[in-house]
Amino acid sequence: GCVLVVSVIEQLAQWHNSTVKAAVERLCDYIPGKYQIMCHMSRCIDKEMNADVVCHSLRLCKQDPGQPLCHLYSPPKKEKHSCGLFYTLVHARPKSQIRSINSSHKSFMGFSSVCAFPLLANLCEKIKFVLRNKLPFEDFDGDKFSTFPTLRGYHWRGRDCNDKNTTVYPGRRPDNWDAKSDSNCNGIWGVDPKDGTPYEEKFCKGADSRGVVLLGDSAGAHFHIPPEWMTVTQMSAKSFANLPMAFSDEFDWPQFSEITGFLNSTIGGWTDSLYLRLRKRNRCNHRDLQNISQNEYFPNNIAPYLSFSLARNQLLDNPAIVIYATIGNDVCNGERDTLAHMTTPKEMLSNVVQALRYLDTHLPNGSHVILTGLVDGRFLWDNLHDRYHPLGQLNKDVTYSQVYSFLDCLQVSPCSGWLTPNETLRNLTSERALQLSNVLKEIARSEKFANFDIFYMDFPLRQTAEEWRKMGGEPWQLIEPVDGFHPSQIAAALGTGITWQKALHEWPQVLGKENPFNDQIEAIFKDQGGH
Mind telling me the catalytic residues?
Answer: 218
CA distance 214 to 370: 10
CA distance 240 to 32: 7
Instruction: Determine contact, residues 190/203, Cβ cutoff 8 Å.
Output: no
3-state secondary structure of 10: helix
User: Residue 69 burial by CB count (10 A; 0-12/13-18/19+): exposed, middle or buried?
Assistant: middle
CA distance 297 to 307: 19
How large is the C-alpha radius of gyration of the chain?
25
Instruction: Determine contact, residues 342/326, Cβ cutoff 8 Å.
Output: no
Instruction: Determine contact, residues 148/154, Cβ cutoff 8 Å.
Output: yes
CA distance 414 to 6: 22
Strand partners of residue 345: none
Instruction: Determine contact, residues 392/339, Cβ cutoff 8 Å.
Output: no
Identity of the residue numbered 58: L
Q: Tell which phi-psi region holds residue 529, choosing left (phi > 0), alpha (psi between -120 and 50) or beta.
A: left
CA distance 510 to 396: 49
3-state secondary structure of 178: helix
CA distance 24 to 28: 6
Range 235-256 burial, b when 16+ CB lie within 10 A, else e = beeebbebbeebbbbbbbbbbb
Identity of the residue numbered 150: T
CA distance 92 to 87: 8
Taking the CB of residue 324, how many other CB atoms lie within 10 A of it? Answer: 24
Q: Tell me which residue of 30, 42, 178 sits closest to 100, measured CA to CA.
A: 42
CA distance 15 to 17: 6
Residues 6+ apart with CB under 8 A from 165: 141
Q: Tell me which residue of 13, 2, 9 sits closest to 71, measured CA to CA.
A: 2
